[in-house]
Chains A and B, each alone.
Chain A
């Protein structure tokens, strides 16, 4: 295990340093950085699998001279699972990057980018293994900073700098809350070692536990992008280069999920007041619904995907929240099921979101625009990218038999099992949450029908799209890898579930894999085969078989006569791209139905012909969605700080003597205090 870890570490470290040694050779730099990152994440996959299967957690520790800080690592099943997830996405992203960064040759420093990329992957891998609060915080900060630098790769653009700054501020505000949460634990534990957090000398009082719960929720929630702390995410994730966006949206926000599980189920033990689970569930439902709703209105493909991350974090939290509620009432098996559903969705989302971001990256590579309205007809020009993107889209829309469907199905089951809960309020609430989840998943379906349909189908809508060409092989390979993993995760739940159960079992204090995997591994049955069952392999076989049946029916009744190809009927006019339905038009009914949430403002300017007022010379249509959270939640805070800073300016006179006086006075006061 140690060897594997050292391989991972050495790989990333080499990838961090070596590219810097070959100045002005971008091709070599890219090959070194991404090749080494690929090798290291390959080793990381092995490390994760070994850690998952190991009977005992692996630990390793090195003392430092700084008080309270030890460089201790611990690889228990939970950490291993996240190492595995990060490494899988890391491997695919590295392969993808080999092709993708050629776009940046001569524009940005490939050495810096590759080196930061390795550092970013290393910090994520370490952060889930850290076993000391202090060490964890350092790595956490490092992860935020490195990703910040990656976000501002295109720093010539003002909006990228804005996105980066926004991200940095939010990340630090979040970290402040995490520090506070850890201090709550530290107070009783007297040490930053996670082992002491787990078993403090004196158990924390109820109030302190709840305080830690809330602080962790806000702190890690900022990183995870829960509503209403999600506002930075749709700016920052799309601004980064696409392979980095894939990692940020796919796995970096998952480190927050990791930390939440670690804090709630590990540190705070299995006893929760009911309102904890309720809060997590409510936030999950809100994030899922609002995430997908805002995603629908986005026509920048990468921002759309970023909003979907908010949605999927919400779905993950639904599983975890349901698990917490069941834990409250001692329904251990169901708690394990909820946790399992959340974890399953975690890895699924990491895979398909990384895949979709790479797809978006490929479109960006081929067309040099992120605006969906300028795509169109790309499936014929980029068949492989289109095919992989379709697999990602089907998975994220939770359609059978893909992986997204399996995990959402598990979340549904854990919500449906709510009738075992004694509390009436929760009994009534969980099915409502299930209905919200249903709405969310169909809206996601609509959103990806839009994303795929507008981007890849029909006629090209701009000359960018007309001249698009298929992306180079490494990019296809990176996407193909993830597409294959998505399909496997969907078709082989009987292999995935026992592994995930090893993660959840220590926290729920019961193993359910034997019960969930029923009928010799052909079906999932949570937790009772009478209540519900699902067999994705059978569904996949059935779909394929019946499609063949359809073909047979065609052969029997009419035969495969050669089709005639002709242009689409356009009411007598030749069809042109301007007559196609746009992304804006596609979501118009949804915008109208949910106008309470969107608060849209529509502006229509018409310039009429002088000769006749029945004909318009030109029309201009604009619509905006009210950024509710920014306007009512963030702007007041920003204004407050701005005005306070303004007032404090009086002490900033610009005089050197005055500043020296400040320092002198502070020194004297401190000396006095010390006495």
Chain B
């Protein structure tokens, strides 16, 4: 990839300035989805487009004033049914960096028990002028209901166990940025932890299998229920991944290790004996990390339970790119808000692309 500016300029910056040799008119991939609900319907060229747009947004973030007017006059509403400071702030910063107006709605508890239904809330938000709706909800599938009701664009900020598409995109971006060769194709990527309840894991399965990574899922058998069958079905479709409860097999020669948060509720649900036992068998410690390739990336979607799923010295050690994930998160979300606004303006009908 050559630079369209004098090479000295680009290297002086230290950042990769994207460039495309072909004239824009010959590139057929635009972003054609009105919503971003999950990565199952996003093609690889579309993911590449998001990656390139994120590069440009990263450059914007590096400026003295990290702001562009691309979404000026647009209203973005953040509708969070699940408390989440980090994701919500990330989206808020992303929207503001694009000069959008931001409205924050934090719903304390589930819609049904407290009066206003999700459908009513979405209609109200729309009536108040929202162009885009970023939603986080505890129930899988909730954003699809919102997308049916809302005339603008819905961006899924995490629904139940199901999907967290921007997380998977920023994970992929971070991996590509730090892996030699800039690609995850053929690389061994391990997701470690409570796979069963993880929307991060599910969205990463779609993204990483599309990218051609050698994906491994590792955790206690009780937290892997159903994934062996999915792996068998996915293998048949070319989207293959491996499921194991052996942390040694999983970590051996890994290029990337992504640890997931383990929650206390899993004990109450009878799925795990204790956190202590989880840490002993599956915790990502410095010793275990040595099984992986030297220079392997350590990732975590946050928030971390240091000392439980990940040792503190690993979380802040030289392999860790966890803080980069956060920065990239803002850039990826800027890219997605930008592309969705373009799809809306370009007239992608909501019926054409409900998913």
Say whether A and B bind each other: no
Residues of A participating in the B interface, judged by any CB pair closer than 8 Å: none
Residues of B participating in the A interface, judged by any CB pair closer than 8 Å: none
